[in-house]
Amino acid sequence: MKKTILVTGCNRGIGFCLIQKLIKDVNNIVIGTTRSNTSALSDLKEANHDRLHIIEMDVGIEKSITDAFLKISNLSTSLDVLINNAGYAPDKTKKGENVSRSDMMDAFEINTLGPLLVIQQSLPLLRNGLMKKIINISSLLGSHAMNPGRQIAYSTAKCALGMITSVFAKELESEGFAIVAVHPGTVATDMRPDLKLPGAMPHIQPEESADGILNNAVFTKENLNGRFITWNGETMAW
Ligand SMILES: NC(=O)c1ccc[n+]([C@@H]2O[C@H](COP(=O)([O-])OP(=O)(O)OC[C@H]3O[C@@H](n4cnc5c(N)ncnc54)[C@H](OP(=O)(O)O)[C@@H]3O)[C@@H](O)[C@H]2O)c1
């Protein structure tokens, strides 16, 4: 079955690994969005120009999202899966008492509002698709139960993304949608430079995270609507 899959934030990290793996299946049409290019992304595009489409989109700017969807709608009348992957942690070293208003707003715009607006724009296309799946890449830091007590801006924004997942899951259940929040693991990407240092805490590589997200959230037959899971398929407490 031919499938059309949209991934945000595809130029590096987990998003890049997701599109790299998805494009290997000749039945997949992949639309990746990015706000900046990388040589790895250009090379992947060149090798797969017929099935990989790269669209510019800054998820923190509403007009950039609507402009991107004009282009996406010209490419395809339907989408099977949306993976809201783009994310940003502005407050890695700050405690709650030092966090600034702009850190809170930046975290919210990119991790919460961006995915919400992308879902809104994707819905008409997803309704024409067969899989009707929305994967919101969240974080352990967005879980009340697992919260290690740090990065208040990022944690709050990812927690709110969890509620967006729950509300859409209820609103769209009768239409056969599955909306799922996924913690991708503790992953050695640019977001976590500390994991590249000697003696770093246990972690995984972005390839393993992407494999897990695809196997356990995107292509699983299990009905995960409204659930919060980890990349390796375990239930994550909200
Ligand atoms: N790494 C981890 O341990 C970990 C753990 C939990 C959750 N996550 C989540 O996993 C997802 C992927 O993160 P990653 O680890 O792969 O991090 P990453 O390597 O830092 O990649 C982040 C991606 O998001 C994009 N992005 C950031 N702000 C954007 C904006 N305003 N508009 C469009 N794209 C934007 C980046 O694009 P640019 O290159 O243009 O900045 C990049 O493609 C994120 O949602 C993150 O919160 C990661």
Structure confidence by residue, pLDDT tens digits, 190-234: 999 999 999 999 999 999 999 999 999 999 999 999 999 999 999
Can you tell me whether residue 32 is helix, strand or coil?
strand
Q: Select from 56, 64, 191 the residue to mutate for testing ligand 1; criterion: most ligand atoms less than 8 Å from CB.
A: 191
- Indicate the pTM of the whole model: 0.98
pLDDT above 90 for 9: yes
pLDDT above 90 for 1: no
Q: Report DSSP letters for 129-157, one per residue.
A: SSS-EEEEE--GGG-TTT--S--HHHHHH
Nearest CA to ligand 1 atom 17: 191
Average pLDDT (45-66) is 97
Q: Cβ(19) to ligand 1 under 6 A? A: no
Looking at residue 116, its pLDDT comes to: 98
Instruction: For domain 3-230, give the CATH number.
Output: 3.40.50.720
Can you tell me whether residue 201 is helix, strand or coil?
coil
Q: Cβ(137) to ligand 1 under 6 A? A: yes
Q: What is d(CA 8, CA 3) in angstroms, rounded to the nearest whole number?
A: 17
142-146's contacts with Cβ under 8 Å and 24+ in sequence apart are 142/181, 142/183, 143/183, 143/228, 143/236, 143/237, 143/238, 144/237, 144/238, 145/237, 145/238, 146/236, 146/237
For 104-141, what is each residue's pLDDT tens digit? 999 999 999 999 999 999 999 999 999 999 999 999 99
The phi and psi torsions of 59 (rounded to 5 degrees) equal -70, -10
Looking at residue 107, its pLDDT comes to: 98
Q: Cβ(189) to ligand 1 under 6 A? A: yes
Residue 154 alpha carbon, nearest atom of ligand 1: 47
